[in-house]
Amino acid sequence: MFPPVEFNSCSSEKPGPDFGSNLNQSADENTRSKSSYKSEWKKSTPKLRSDLRFFPQRNNGKSIIVIEDPIRSKFFRIGRSEYLFISMLDGKNTVVEAYEKARSKSPTAGNAIDFPLEQAEQICKFLSNAQLTRIADLESIQKKATANEKAKLVSYFNPIFQKLPIAHPTKLLERTQAIGKLLFSIPMLLVWICIVAFSGYCLSNQWQEFSAASGGILSGNRWLWLIGVWMIMKAVHEFGHATACHRFGGHVRETGAAFICFFPVAYVDVSSSWRFSNKWHRITVAAAGIYIELLIAALAAIAWCSISDSIARDLLYNITVVASVTTILFNANPLMKFDGYFVLSDYVESTNLYQKSQTAVLSKMGWLFQGSNSTEPTNLLLLGYGTAIVLWRIAICIGIFIAFSLMGEGIGLVLAIMASAFLVYPMLSKGIRAARKSTEPTQWKRLCVSGAIAASSIACACVFLLAPHRIIAPGVVCFSESQIVRPSVSGFVKELHVIDGQKVSMGDKLVSLRNKAIRNQLAQAKLSYQQAANRIENYRSNQAHRDVASETKMLRKLNADITHYEKQVECLEIYAEIDGYIQMRDSTTLLDSYVKSENEIMLIAQPDQKEIVAAFPQDQFDGLPDVHGKGERRATKLWGNLFLNEVGQLRCQLKRFEPRATLTPPDILLCANVGGSIPVKNVAAQTNIATDPDSNDIQFLSPHVIAKFEIDDWASEQLHAGQRVNVILQAKATSIGYQFYKSALGWLKHKYDSAIDSAN
């Protein structure tokens, strides 16, 4: 629910530029003395607009009147005595006559006029500035209209907030009137309390799993689900406001969409609830959206704890988080002028609570901005509330700036600067105007000091406010212990002794190859060896010692050749080196086919023993904790998370890090040229070297740290070898400013590298 226009009490309103058509003064009249001016406004005859509506209310035990401007859907609160005075402004009575008639018609203490005649000037100016008089100063109204149009035009370029009216929901609310009566009743409130309490009990039993799932709420394509759920829940939230307002007799003027930081949300105009005389009805309308969302969140949480389907659980988790956490953090937050603020304002029966708290803070800082100190007594509650609002707004501004600045391709930085300008300009212009009007020579110094303090506060917030930092790296699921069966020599597959899926033990024969060339070479080497041995015997019998030495040398060479060929022949029989299960492609095409040496034939692995090999960018790796403070990354008790749409969140424990960053991919599936996410380059192509197509000449563009993670048996069953995943590590919390610096530095480096590549 977007806040309606805040009530303004005429007794606290600052004097406006004029208060009636009879005071259209010329330039000469502006130079009159004060006594002449006072006599003029006392003779004016302002008249209230006939379309205004008045509603009595109670506030802090006092009777007040609410003025409704139905044309602009604005509301104003005034006291009973002020109401008696303005009710006499009929266009015939002068201000003095209206004041005297009001005094004569208020004999009782409760209705007595409790302000002097001079204050009637402020009341009349208030009516004119609020455009509540029938014949107002046309020049003043025209100036305001022009200023409003300019402000509206400028607001179109404000990246923080945009508003787009869409429709009038009156017919829909009339059709759903029965639902409103049911939802906003005492029995339903009791049911609501029971449901919310039961959902809290269910979540407490599974809290560890529920909290751990939050890390993957934006992983993969889940952010699309989150945005969809957000938009639907906010539409339901606003429908709750509209239903409650219609339930108690209010009129809903319009509904539409608003864009906060380009993020769509719904809104509804239920400002007519401000005329309700019962404060609990106003509180119900303000809290209706929170009430409905928490009910839906509770039902979704109960369902999440009860079902096992992964897709449904993801959807229910998003509903629970959006309808509870975000609603409480923003809508129910009394530090923002949303639902929580209006509930608080009505509960304590304090009008203009937001403005009063800000005034209390500014009055204590008057020496800094205007060189003056307030002599009014300090309300500690208002001062504390105003200080909390200021701190919250600073945090929100920093968050918006960072959120914008992290958007890609430099557009985020431009939007961040624009958003900062829209936030800083009103305060800066106000301070400059005050400095220009001030007669004190130190006012400009005070303005500079206040600006320096504000800048220093923002800088300190960026340095000392810590934010969680996560490192995300692409990974591939691999078998933790496996044997890739490759022949050491080339040959034809003569016989397959195993089939796909068969369990084998160490030493079992797997494949027999056929290579006649190697066997012929072995036979020829043995024959040559025998012939050389015979010649040596003949030479010895003939005492040809020189020939014996020569043949002995040849004999040793032939013996080495025989040993080499025998090993090659032995390699024609391939055996299992580990226990496991066979995984291979179609065996019918493999049989009698020719395989080269080092070509993969099959794989032996344990299906329930897998690990994840991940590659972390080196420039993002400085947030992980160290061991012994010597820069060595922790290799134990460091857990990562990975999120899959099919099974949700899985945990993996860090097994080890490679000691140094490398450019060599640990697995080809990580590379972008085969569908991975890490950019690579072909070294052989860059050096114009002709290489074997099967050789690995691919390198990362930037160094990466290779890590291996263990996963449990259940996770091994859910994952398959070769599957790509994203591993998320929770690093140390770093300052907001440092994260922005790293992001900006990375963006600049990316642009620089792109420019260098284009130039080359």
493-547 tens-digit pLDDT: 888 888 888 888 888 998 999 999 988 998 998 898 888 888 888 888 887 778 8
Q: Residue 445's CB: how many other CB atoms inside 10 A?
A: 12
Mean pLDDT for the stretch of residues 63-92: 82
Residues 225, 557: Cα–Cα separation, whole Å: 73
Residues 471, 688: Cα–Cα separation, whole Å: 37
Q: Residue 205's CB: how many other CB atoms inside 10 A?
A: 10
* Rg value, the chain, Cα: 41
Terminal CA-to-CA distance of the chain, rounded, Å? 56
Q: What is the pLDDT of residue 686?
A: 54
Residues 693, 690: Cα–Cα separation, whole Å: 9
Model confidence at 151: pLDDT above 90: no
Pairing mode, strands 594-595 and 491-496: antiparallel
**The token pair that represents 22 in the structure block:** 């009879």
CB-based contact 154:429 (threshold 8 Å): no
Helices in 62-205 by DSSP H: which ranges?
A: 80-86, 95-104, 119-129, 138-155, 170-175, 177-183, 186-205
Q: Which DSSP helix (H) or strand (E) runs through 738?
A: helix 736-759
Cα–Cα distances (Å) from 560 to 533, 566, 694, in that order, read: 14, 10, 31
Q: What is the pLDDT of residue 342?
A: 87
The conformation of residue 377, written as its DSSP 8-state character, comes to P
* Beta carbons within 8 Å of 402's beta carbon, 6+ residues apart: 416, 736, 739, 740
Cα–Cα distances (Å) from 185 to 173, 543, 724, in that order, read: 17, 125, 52
Position 622 confidence tier, pLDDT thresholds 50, 70, 90: low
Model confidence at 691: pLDDT above 50: no
Model confidence at 606: pLDDT above 50: yes
* Beta carbons within 8 Å of 631's beta carbon, 6+ residues apart: none
Q: What is the pLDDT of residue 293?
A: 92
34-43, 371-380, 670-679, range with greatest mean pLDDT: 670-679
Q: What is the pLDDT of residue 394?
A: 73
Q: What is the pLDDT of residue 471?
A: 78
Residue 253's φ and ψ, nearest 5 degrees, are -75, -50
Distance of CA 190 to the CA centre of its chain: 34
pTM of the model: 0.55
Long-range contacts of 559-564 (CB under 8 A, 24+ apart): 559/529, 561/521, 561/525, 562/522, 562/525, 562/526, 562/529
Q: Which DSSP helix (H) or strand (E) runs through 643?
A: strand 639-644
Position 688 confidence tier, pLDDT thresholds 50, 70, 90: very low
Share of the chain above pLDDT 70, in %: 71
Position 693 confidence tier, pLDDT thresholds 50, 70, 90: very low
Burial class (CB in 10 A: 0-12, 13-18, 19+), 613: buried
Mean pLDDT for the stretch of residues 618-636: 50
| Each residue's pLDDT tens digit, 303-321 | 998 887 777 887 888 899 8
Residue 490's φ and ψ, nearest 5 degrees, are -80, 160
| Each residue's pLDDT tens digit, 447-466 | 677 777 777 777 776 777 66
* Beta carbons within 8 Å of 585's beta carbon, 6+ residues apart: none
Position 27 confidence tier, pLDDT thresholds 50, 70, 90: very low
Model confidence at 621: pLDDT above 60: yes
Going by C-alpha positions, the residue among 673, 659, 670, 664 that lies closest to residue 707 is: 659
Model confidence at 26: pLDDT above 50: no
Model confidence at 376: pLDDT above 70: no
10-14, 126-130, 612-616, 697-701, range with greatest mean pLDDT: 612-616
4-8, 290-294, 426-430, 485-489, range with greatest mean pLDDT: 290-294
> What value does the mean pLDDT of the chain take?
75
Q: What is the pLDDT of residue 190?
A: 94
Model confidence at 31: pLDDT above 50: no
Strand partners, 557: none
| Each residue's pLDDT tens digit, 397-415 | 766 666 655 554 455 556 6
Question: Which has more pLDDT, 147 or 294?
Answer: 294
Q: What is the pLDDT of residue 34?
A: 42
Position 692 confidence tier, pLDDT thresholds 50, 70, 90: very low
Residues 631, 749: Cα–Cα separation, whole Å: 25
Question: Which has more pLDDT, 149 or 234?
Answer: 234
Q: Which of helix, strand or coil describes residue 603?
A: strand
Residues 270, 244: Cα–Cα separation, whole Å: 9
**The token pair that represents 704 in the structure block:** 């990466």
Q: What is the pLDDT of residue 229?
A: 86
Residues 625, 730: Cα–Cα separation, whole Å: 10
Query: Where does 9-133 show beta strands of DSSP type E?
Result: 53-59, 62-69, 74-79
**The token pair that represents 341 in the structure block:** 């603020």
* Beta carbons within 8 Å of 15's beta carbon, 6+ residues apart: 121, 122, 125
Residues 748, 178: Cα–Cα separation, whole Å: 59
Q: What is the pLDDT of residue 702?
A: 83
CB-based contact 293:323 (threshold 8 Å): yes
Position 141 confidence tier, pLDDT thresholds 50, 70, 90: very low
Residue 522's φ and ψ, nearest 5 degrees, are -65, -45
Q: Which of helix, strand or coil describes residue 248?
A: coil
DSSP string computed for 462-491? HHH-EEEEEEEEEEEEEESSEEEE--SS-E
Going by C-alpha positions, the residue among 461, 436, 428 that lies closest to residue 738 is: 461
Burial class (CB in 10 A: 0-12, 13-18, 19+), 658: middle
Q: What is the pLDDT of residue 12?
A: 32
Share of the chain above pLDDT 90, in %: 6
Q: What is the pLDDT of residue 295?
A: 93
Residues 62, 84: Cα–Cα separation, whole Å: 15
Model confidence at 116: pLDDT above 60: yes
Mean pLDDT is lowest, of 23-32, 190-199, 693-702, for 23-32
Q: Which residue has the tokens 């690093």?
A: 731
| Each residue's pLDDT tens digit, 193-247 | 999 999 999 988 888 778 766 655 655 566 677 788 888 888 899 889 999 998 8
Q: What is the pLDDT of residue 631?
A: 41
Residues 14, 506: Cα–Cα separation, whole Å: 93
Distance of CA 175 to the CA centre of its chain: 37
CB-based contact 431:369 (threshold 8 Å): yes
Residues 82, 123: Cα–Cα separation, whole Å: 8
Question: Which has more pLDDT, 431 or 328?
Answer: 328
